[in-house]
A and B are shown apart, each in its own frame.
Chain A
Amino acid sequence: MNNKINLLIAVILFISASQIRGQEWIAPADKASVSNPSEYNLANVKKGKEIYQKNCKSCHGDAGKYNALPLVPVPPDVASEIMHSNTEGGLFHKITAGKGGMPQFETTLSEDDRWRLVNYIMNYNPNVEPVLVEAPPVKAKIMASVNEVNKQVEVFAEFDNNGTFEKLADAEVIVSAKKTFGNLVIGKALTDENGRALFTIPESHIGDEEGYVKLVVALGEGYEVAALDLKSAKVGKLKEIPKLIKGGEILWSTNENIQPWLLFSYLGAVGGAWLAIGYIIFLIFRIRKYSKL
């Protein structure tokens, strides 16, 4: 009797434990109680944000926008309740150790950086005074031109100051190349006091077979402006066509590139077989004719 009750309790415990495991992720108490050694200030949060954009955003999405990748389980948003049910030590532990779809960052980010990430997440904690407040985006305008000889892009940016556009200084300009599957960021520049930024395309950037690159210019975060698509410009290195495709040495290819021997073998075999079939059909007619003998 006693045994049965014990077994029942064990089963119930096991089931509830596995349920918890399936639902939430709990950091061990000793890790959760570790306190944050780095200071919660604007510099650290900003740095944390930078690291977050590079390493975490692809899965977790933008803070407060709940646009995470639809993984199972879904990576919680930085501003979400799940995130902030963690202590700072707990967050640090989870970033360090990872679990399932969440990679470990112990070997890829320094301890300082991981604590900065915690500071960045804490910026969105409802009980913490935010130090990094994102202002509503400012309307802006960009103009750009390309100098093919110097391989330079010149950008002018202006912002909307209550109805009049004025020069936009110290704004981040992002120059990318349009590729088949999205934009490839080539580099960034800052505008000067005249709202002007000059960006030199690196020598190593590869264009199409003739060196053309479709450049796209955009402003960094905080500005409301559509990315500017520029005309194709000859600013890249020539793309080399892999020899394999040009030369036709491979069997698996299009009809234009087909190896003659392969085509002839195929047509020869098929033609031969169907000629023989045609001959049989002819014989069938012959049999019919012979019945009149």
Chain B
Amino acid sequence: MKRIESADESRKLLDKITFDLTRSIVKKDELTYFWFFILIMFVGVGLWGWGIQINDGLGVTGMRDYVSWGMYIANFVFFVAISLIGFLLSSALHLLKIHWAKPISRVAEQVAIAGVALAGLIIVMDMGRPERLLNVFLHGRFASPIIWDVTVVTTYLTISVLLFYIPLIPDLALLRDRLGDEVPKWKITLYTILALGWKGNPMQYKTVYHAMRVLMLLIIPVGLSIHTVTSWLFAATLRSGWDTTILGPYFVAGAFVAGSAAVIMLMYAYRVRYGLKDYFEDIHFDYMGKLLVFVCLVYLYFNVNEFLVPGYKMKSAEGVHLKNLFAGSFSVMFWVVQVFGLILPLVLLLIKYFRKPLPITIISFFVLISSWFKRYLIVVPTMEHPFLPVQNVPENFHTYVPTSIEIMITLFSFFAALTIISVLAKLFPVITIWEYAEDKGIDKKYLSEKPRN
């Protein structure tokens, strides 16, 4: 790492970095208001839909006796999945001393927080009697994967918030000291409180480093557990399509695919919107593209295992399920998801051109949408094929079609996640200033200097 010796040069560079990286906080134009208006509108409509559902019961959804897990659970799995990228990018790669991932770790943490917070909320929204939520904790069975899931989601959310916060403390002090009239007073007050009176002395830095290290180590088992336990919600049953031993790693691999795509899209949005071309550089997109190729390959490997092995044997119930996926009523969705969400991105991203910011963002969009539908394919077709024949029930119990209320609430979750991310981006820098400055060779002592003007 190069060091900048000259004090003047250091100060100038730090000023520039601070100016660039606080643009997201300071910038306020029509587009900002419009964006928040859209977000709040959709969130409002979704909450209204939830109100209807609470009032009239789960009968307003398309879920019936046989398909009792529908779009909500698929959506839940999707959000747990994208949240997992936090642990890959901001912890695993850090600990492996993979340098390029550093500026991206904030973005990954934002996705993680939004994803896991929404995952928790979606489960509550899938409950017929959400006011009885507390009973899960009071009367839960310790042997039930559902309890494990509730515990691990809360734990992961807490750790993600801490991992977002701790590295931010020096930055909060910087913002407290350097931002003036361009931001409202309450923001300064917020920074002052959260900065914990940061002075930037060596003991404080040492504690921050230590805390980050503990968190990064802690998040690895917890991160792995969160999605493995989510997979056990399925794998611990005897249902065809779920009753498989590789569901845990299969989910984790799929989660990295979805999460990487989400992070790439967010990076691109920040790069364009906040003029961060020099921070989210082409090389970062290139590396993220390679990472995506790698996780796609792992996921492809699991997919082959997941479908080829039972497909070879075609045991009766499993056979019905697989036929339905490969050539039956879900086949279009299945093949579109496999081709556009996995195989095509994998092939395209091997070519350098497609790892440039815009092409890779477009590819990521398809990957992300496909991975949502992939979760739908994991949940719904299995539910439609119970072992005992479906009989003596009305026609609409046989197949599951989500209702408009379910779609409303699902849209809500997307916009609520975007709201969380937008608020985080509006409040805090999207790259940690002090870490970035240090990487550029600026000595820590300049960080705690009061600005000259």
Name the contact of B211 in the complex, choosing from A72, A263, A284, A290 (C-beta under 8 A). Answer: A284
A273 touches B218 (CB 8 A): yes
Interface flags, A253-293, vs B, CB<8A=1, else 0:
11100110011001101100110110110011011101111
- Segment of B53-61, B127-135, B139-147, B324-332 in the binding face: B139-147
CB of B20, distance to nearest CB on chain A (Å) = 27
- Known A273-B222, A290-B201: A263·B207 in contact at CB below 8 Å: no
User: Which positions 48-99 of chain A face chain B at CB distance < 8 Å?
Assistant: 69, 71-72
B214 touches A287 (CB 8 A): no
A286 touches B207 (CB 8 A): yes
* B-side contacts of A267, CB under 8 Å: 142
CB of B146, distance to nearest CB on chain A (Å) = 11
* B-side contacts of A290, CB under 8 Å: 199, 201, 203-204, 207
A291 touches B158 (CB 8 A): no
Name the contact of A274 in the complex, choosing from B155, B196, B197, B394 (C-beta under 8 A). Answer: B155
Residue of A nearest to B225 (CB): A269
Name the contact of A276 in the complex, choosing from B210, B218, B392 (C-beta under 8 A). Answer: B218
Name the contact of A283 in the complex, choosing from B159, B198, B207, B218 (C-beta under 8 A). Answer: B207
- Known A273-B218, A290-B203: A255·B141 in contact at CB below 8 Å: yes
- Distance of A259 Cα from B218 Cα, bound (Å): 26
Q: Is B148 an interface residue (CB 8 A)?
A: yes
User: Which positions 140-170 of chain B face chain A at CB distance < 8 Å?
Assistant: 141-144, 148, 151, 155, 158-159, 162, 166, 169
Task: Tell me how many residue pairs across A and B have CB atoms closer than 8 Å.
Answer: 81
* B-side contacts of A181, CB under 8 Å: none
* A-side contacts of B207, CB under 8 Å: 283, 286-287, 290
- Known A254-B141, A277-B158, A291-B204: A284·B394 in contact at CB below 8 Å: no
- Known A72-B395, A276-B218: A288·B151 in contact at CB below 8 Å: no
A277 touches B155 (CB 8 A): yes
- Distance of A279 Cα from B143 Cα, bound (Å): 28
CB of B445, distance to nearest CB on chain A (Å) = 15
Q: Is B215 an interface residue (CB 8 A)?
A: yes
Q: Is B208 an interface residue (CB 8 A)?
A: yes
Q: Which of A251, A280, A284 has the most CB of B within 10 A?
A: A280
- Distance of A288 Cα from B207 Cα, bound (Å): 10
Interface of A is mostly: helix
B196 touches A69 (CB 8 A): no
B142 touches A293 (CB 8 A): no
- Distance of A271 Cα from B203 Cα, bound (Å): 29
- Distance of A276 Cα from B156 Cα, bound (Å): 12
A280 touches B162 (CB 8 A): yes
- Known A72-B395, A279-B214: A291·B141 in contact at CB below 8 Å: no
Q: How many residues of B contact A (CB 8 A)?
A: 33
- Known A270-B155, A279-B214: A252·B144 in contact at CB below 8 Å: yes
Interface of B is mostly: helix
CB of A272, distance to nearest CB on chain B (Å) = 9
User: Which positions 157-216 of chain B face chain A at CB distance < 8 Å?
Assistant: 158-159, 162, 166, 169, 196-199, 201, 203-204, 207-208, 210-211, 214-215
- Distance of A251 Cα from B142 Cα, bound (Å): 10
Q: How many residues of A contact B (CB 8 A)?
A: 31
- Known A280-B166, A287-B196: A69·B143 in contact at CB below 8 Å: no
* B-side contacts of A276, CB under 8 Å: 214, 218
Residue of A nearest to B218 (CB): A276
Residue of B nearest to A275 (CB): B218
A291 touches B162 (CB 8 A): no
- Distance of A132 Cα from B73 Cα, bound (Å): 58
- Distance of A293 Cα from B144 Cα, bound (Å): 49
A293 touches B203 (CB 8 A): yes
Name the contact of A287 in the complex, choosing from B159, B208, B218 (C-beta under 8 A). Answer: B208
Residue of A nearest to B155 (CB): A273
- Known A273-B222, A280-B214: A288·B196 in contact at CB below 8 Å: yes
B201 touches A280 (CB 8 A): no
CB of A287, distance to nearest CB on chain B (Å) = 5
Interface flags, A128-169, vs B, CB<8A=1, else 0:
000000000000000000000000000000000000000000
- Distance of A273 Cα from B143 Cα, bound (Å): 19
B142 touches A258 (CB 8 A): yes
- Distance of A274 Cα from B222 Cα, bound (Å): 11
- Distance of A200 Cα from B218 Cα, bound (Å): 68
Interface flags, B388-404, vs A, CB<8A=1, else 0:
00001011000000000
CB of A288, distance to nearest CB on chain B (Å) = 4
CB of A139, distance to nearest CB on chain B (Å) = 36
- Distance of A14 Cα from B148 Cα, bound (Å): 58
* B-side contacts of A252, CB under 8 Å: 143-144, 236
Name the contact of B143 in the complex, choosing from A251, A283, A286, A287 (C-beta under 8 A). Answer: A251
- Distance of A69 Cα from B392 Cα, bound (Å): 8
CB of B86, distance to nearest CB on chain A (Å) = 16
B211 touches A291 (CB 8 A): no
Residue of A nearest to B195 (CB): A291
B169 touches A277 (CB 8 A): no
- Distance of A275 Cα from B299 Cα, bound (Å): 34
- Distance of A258 Cα from B201 Cα, bound (Å): 51
Name the contact of B199 in the complex, choosing from A258, A273, A277, A291 (C-beta under 8 A). Answer: A291
CB of B240, distance to nearest CB on chain A (Å) = 19
- Distance of A283 Cα from B206 Cα, bound (Å): 11
- Distance of A270 Cα from B166 Cα, bound (Å): 22
User: Which positions 357-394 of chain B face chain A at CB distance < 8 Å?
Assistant: 392, 394
CB of A118, distance to nearest CB on chain B (Å) = 26
Listed A/B pairs (13) with beta-carbon separation below 8 Å: A71-B392, A72-B394, A253-B141, A262-B142, A263-B142, A266-B148, A270-B155, A276-B214, A280-B162, A280-B166, A280-B211, A283-B214, A287-B196
Across the A-B interface, give the 10 residue pairs with the lowest CB-CB distance, nearest first: A291-B197, A288-B196, A283-B211, A290-B203, A290-B204, A291-B199, A276-B218, A287-B207, A273-B155, A258-B143
Can you name 12 extra interface pairs (CB under 8 A) apart from A258-B143, A290-B204, A291-B198?
A254-B143, A267-B142, A270-B151, A273-B221, A276-B214, A280-B166, A283-B211, A284-B166, A284-B196, A287-B204, A291-B201, A292-B197
